[in-house]
Amino acid sequence: MRITIDRTACSGHARCAAAAPELFRLDDDGYALPLDTEVPAELEQAAHDGETACPERAVTLR
């Protein structure tokens, strides 16, 4: 599984990082930093939590 973040859709709610701080990082303004990494199996639930938490649908899992 990989996570990508659409920075054009991100509105800086910071909910992804609140839901899964072990995966999502924010810049100084609260916007999710670019992420295109392989998710370890033990963090797949956290990835889903972050995806679900984003109200802008800016987080994609594939």
Decide: is 21 part of the binding site for ligand SF4 (CB under 6 A): no
Question: Using an 8 Å Cβ cutoff, are 9 and 57 in contact?
Answer: yes
Residues 58 and 45: their CA atoms lie apart, in Å, by 17
The encoded tokens of residue 48 equal: 């889903």
Residue ranges of alpha helices (H) inside the chain are 15-19, 44-53
**Comparison of 40 and 52: residue with beta carbon closer to ligand SF4:** 52
Binds ligand SF4 (CB under 6 A): choice among 2, 11, 45, 52: 11
Decide: is 39 part of the binding site for ligand SF4 (CB under 6 A): no
Binding residues for ligand SF4, rule: CB under 6 A, are: 5, 10-16, 31-32, 53-54, 56, 58-59
